[in-house]
Amino acid sequence: MKALSGLSEQVKQYLIITGNYWAFTLTDGALRMLVVLYFHQLGYSPLSIAMLFLFYEIFGVVTNLVGGWLGARLGLNKTMNIGLALQIVALVMLVVPSELLTVAYVMAAQALSGIAKDLNKMSAKSSIKLLVQEDNSSKLYQWIALLTGSKNTLKGLGFFLGGLLLTVFGFSGAITLMALALSVVWLFSLLSLKQDLGKAKNKPKFKDVLSKSRAINLLSAARLFLFAARDVWFVIALPVFLATEFAWQHTWVGGFIAAWIILYGIIQTQAPKITAKASGKSPNGQDAAKWGALLFIVPSLMALALSFGVSSVWVIVVGLTAFAVLFAINSSLHSFLIVDMASKDGVSLDVGFYYMANAGGRLLGTVLSGWIFQAYGIIACLVIAAIFIALAVMFAAMIAPKNTALLKPTQ
């Protein structure tokens, strides 16, 4: 408590935002797993399940653009609270009899959830830029990696929680419990968040949501294809593949994917150590391209092994583990680069534009995951993933190196 009392008011506000982000992430991961497994159980096809998330991803694209602008004008505390409230509404919408859960209705609920998720992500990640000195890239990288890694670890727990809650309480019961828990977090946030963290000194115009930086545009394109490469085989194809080919129960599917995301989150927190350069300079686009090239190898080998009849269990388990490690490092590098390159005044504008591309990648990957898996199978999904990673590498390699001073050692 003494340590907390000695923190500045700004840092305390940031810690509350981070806690909100973690709580939100648990419900977001659980909700995705609940929807995938429950609607697969109801007999929906993989493509139909993918369509349930269409508006989630589309509105994520829009929200990151508009949300970055709102964060710069209103403050990140307000965008955080709006996101929490919208997620509660999205959850409550799903607590209806199963016959009312039509594709259009669930898509509408997922649209609200997509808006909520990206308002929370943009608020939390934009805040870090304001708490680290501009010339201390080392600490910035560590803070970004810690936030992103811990978030994904909790998202993994959320996937497991979703499968477990579905088994124990059923769909409506699980959704009700999550809505109640998040309501408590929202009320605490309303009472605790007071500072207008992230509000720009000069009120940005709406036209400012589009990035004018070539480096940020290239990094955003790389991010789009990086996340499309993950989701094209992970978000729909993998859970359905595990449930059908391996005949796994909901808890097993949720637990397996949860373990993957937890491993992914842990590796993200260690990315600054793994990618440390002997020169002491902060990472740049060339580093992102090199690690992306290593990631390209994994889905390529997985597709090749499956096409030659290698045991699918071993290919999935070993391949997923390797993909988790390398994807986590790539994701952390990208997340550091956008915050490092973003303008400090109105940082949410640049971060919002970048995560708009991130949401676009998730949208592309989600739709293709259902369609490609249903039409051509898991091998085709892995081939598409490899192609997308190659495109991400190309865009990252085009980012001109930044004139970076030696990193200051962290205290």
Among the ranges 191-195, 224-228, 365-369, 399-403, which has the highest mean pLDDT value?
A: 224-228
User: Given pLDDT bands bounded at 50, 70 and 90, which one contains residue 363?
Assistant: confident
Instruction: Compute the average pLDDT of residues 347-374.
Output: 82
Looking at residues 288-310, what average pLDDT do you find? 95
Confidence of residue 272 (pLDDT cuts 50, 70, 90): confident
Overall average pLDDT of the 341-365 stretch: 76
- Rounded mean pLDDT of 177-190? 91
Cα-based distances in Å from 207 to 65, 66, 203, 212, 344: 10, 10, 12, 11, 18
Can you count the helices (H) and strands (E) in the chain?
Answer: 14, 0
Give 178's pLDDT tier (boundaries 50, 70, 90): very high
Looking at residue 201, its pLDDT comes to 60
At the fourth CATH level, the homologous superfamily of domain 7-194+211-397 is MFS general substrate transporter like domains (1.20.1250.20)
Q: Using an 8 Å Cβ cutoff, are 387 and 98 in contact?
A: no
Q: Maximum CA pair distance of the chain?
A: 61
Structure tokens at 178: 């999550």
Average of pLDDT values for 270-298? 84
More confident residue, 312 or 389: 389
Average pLDDT estimate for 20-32: 86
Tell whether the model's pLDDT for residue 281 goes beyond 80.
Answer: no
- Residue 9: the pLDDT is 66
149 falls in which pLDDT band (50, 70, 90)?
A: confident
As a whole number of angstroms, the distance between CA 46 and CA 378 comes to 12
Place of tokens 């440390």: 276
Residue length, the chain?
A: 411
CA dist 119 and 107 (Å) reads 18
Please state, in angstroms and as integers, the Cα–Cα distance from residue 37 to each residue in 227, 248, 367, following that order: 22, 11, 17
Q: Which two tokens stand for residue 8?
A: 């500045």
Residue 385 above 90 pLDDT? yes
Q: How confident is the model at residue 408 (pLDDT cuts 50, 70, 90)?
A: very low
Distance CA 247, CA 309 (A): 19
Report whether 37 contacts 254 (CB < 8 A). Answer: yes
For residue 121, with 0-12 CB atoms within 10 Å meaning exposed, 13-18 middle and 19 or more buried, which class applies? buried
Q: What is the pLDDT of residues 237-251, one digit of tens each?
A: 888 888 887 777 777
Residue spans of the domains in the chain: they are 7-194+211-397
Burial class (CB in 10 A: 0-12, 13-18, 19+), 205: exposed
Q: Is the pLDDT of residue 296 over 90?
A: yes
CB 27 within 8 A of CB 182: yes
First and final C-alpha spacing in the chain: 21
Q: Tell me which of 79-88, 135-144, 288-297 is least confident.
A: 135-144
Give Cα separations from 270 to 141, 142, 215, 319, 363 (angstroms): 10, 8, 25, 20, 28
Q: Which H helix or E strand runs over 150?
A: helix 137-192
Please report which confidence band the pLDDT of residue 91 belongs to, taking 50, 70 and 90 as the band edges: very high
Residue among 333, 326, 324 at smallest CA distance from 396:
333
Nearest one of 28, 12, 13 to 181, comparing CA atoms:
28
User: Residue 137 and residue 276: Cα distance in Å, rounded?
Assistant: 12
The answer to which of 139-143, 270-274, 395-399 has the lowest mean pLDDT is 139-143
Distances in whole angstroms, Cα of residue 165 to Cα of each of 44, 124, 207 = 20, 27, 44
d(CA 143, CA 149): 10
What average pLDDT does range 136-156 have in this prediction?
Answer: 74
- Minimum mean pLDDT range among 3-7, 192-196, 227-231, 245-249: 3-7
Give the pLDDT of residue 297. 97
Please check whether residue 218 is in contact with residue 338, taking contact to mean a CB–CB distance below 8 angstroms. no
Q: How many whole angstroms from its chain centre is CA 168?
A: 27
Q: What is the pLDDT of residue 409?
A: 39
pLDDT at 317: 87
Sequence-distant (≥ 6) Cβ neighbours of residue 394 within 8 angstroms? 289
Task: Tell me the two tokens of residue 196.
Answer: 């207008």
pLDDT at position 102 = 83
Mean pLDDT of 4-26: 73
Higher per-residue confidence, 70 vs 322: 322
Compute the mean pLDDT over every residue in the chain, rounded to the nearest whole number. 81
* pLDDT value of residue 1: 46
User: What is the token pair recorded at 322?
Assistant: 């390797």
Question: Could you give the 3-state DSSP secondary structure of residue 354?
Answer: helix
Q: Which residue has the higher pLDDT, 163 or 8?
A: 163
d(C-alpha 103, C-alpha 49), whole Å: 8
Sign of CA dihedral 125, 157, 52, 81: negative
Q: Distance between CA 31 and CA 38 in Å, rounded?
A: 10
The model's confidence at residue 42, banded by pLDDT at 50, 70 and 90, is confident
